[in-house]
Amino acid sequence: MSNLVSPGKIIGIIGGGEIARMMALSAKKMGYRVGVLDPEKDCPAAQVADWEITAQYDDQEALMDFAMACDVVTYTYDNSDADAITRMKKTVSVPQGAELLSITQDRLLEKAYLEASNINLAPYVTIVTVDDIKGAIDEIGFPCILKTISERHNGKDRCVLQSEEDISKAAFLLKRGTCVLEAWIPFERELSVIVVRNQANQIIVFPVVENIHRNGVLLKSIVPARIEDYVVEEIERIARTVADNIELIGVLGIEMFITSSGALYVNELIPRPHHSGNYSIEACTLSQYDAHIRAICGWPLPETELLSPVVMATILAEHEEATKVQIQLKPNWNFHYYGKEQAKEGQKIGHITILTKNIEKTLDTITDTGI
């Protein structure tokens, strides 16, 4: 294969968090050397990589030095500079490319792309001023949610509006630029799916995941999701459509909602492996991280199968002591730690994967542990 990156070559990862760490472990298993670029020295990924460049993500000189040292580059940092990626491609292969970043870093562009692919979205309106919010309420209604078009995943990129009194409270977001006002979807379940495509146009879709969040943090993932078969088929169709239309190379996470009537709404695209896919390390014949390395390095993609129903539980910093107790009590649970030191309350420090024959019983057991 002309685009094969052979084992022994160097994979560079922009971003050094837990996603990069698990990606690096897959790359090492497959025989690659790994370099990491991240602002934090000895970050989670650097602990398992061969070398690290400690630099800010917008340090152009460091990025070019990084490119020169690698045979192929990938990114796990959602806000990587798309223009910098375009420049890097003149020096080193970056199979994910910059277009995916450009789309996922701009909510309006992302929505336009999804609408062009005939994918269902929550009703939305572009907002520039407070008066725009007032004018849009007749169409959107309460409750609704105002989001910046960028600055995702920092917990400060959105504000829920329950009534007219909340409009003035949301005005601070407009100081950051154009926003989008979305209708609040009364969802029954939060869902996600992982899709992978390689340069030979092979596409695989992982089992659909049901997610439980609190305060914007993923707490649990349940696979298979507790939904009807026809919904699974539609989600797989959406995943393949998005991957094909965007000419995806690598892994893409797709978040969505389903209502009690069975209506599906795509919420967000994640341009990298997704936390909700971490269950795949133990529960599938191929993990999302192995699939990503295969895709960017020109390997073929085998179909993946779910080996067992599974629950994934996130370990937050405040759960550390309770989790240590369970390590002693649950020999069949799979504990993953991310190598984060001095984590603050609410931050992910690891996850637990539990293969099970009884999802409901396992969920009750997790609740009883205090994790």
C-alpha 163/C-alpha 104 separation (Å) is: 29
Beta strands in 42-143 (DSSP E): 51-54, 72-75, 124-127
**Each residue's pLDDT tens digit, 158-190:** 899 999 988 988 888 998 899 999 999 999 999
pLDDT, residue 155, reads 59
Domains along the sequence of the chain with CATH? 10-94 (3.40.50.20), 123-183 (3.30.1490.20), 187-369 (3.30.470.20)
Neighbours of 159 (CB within 10 A): 18
Q: 309: helix, coil or strand?
A: coil
Query: Rounded distance, CA 301 to CA 338, Å?
Result: 27
Looking at residue 1, its pLDDT comes to: 45
Q: Which residues of the chain have pLDDT under 70?
A: 1-2, 151-155
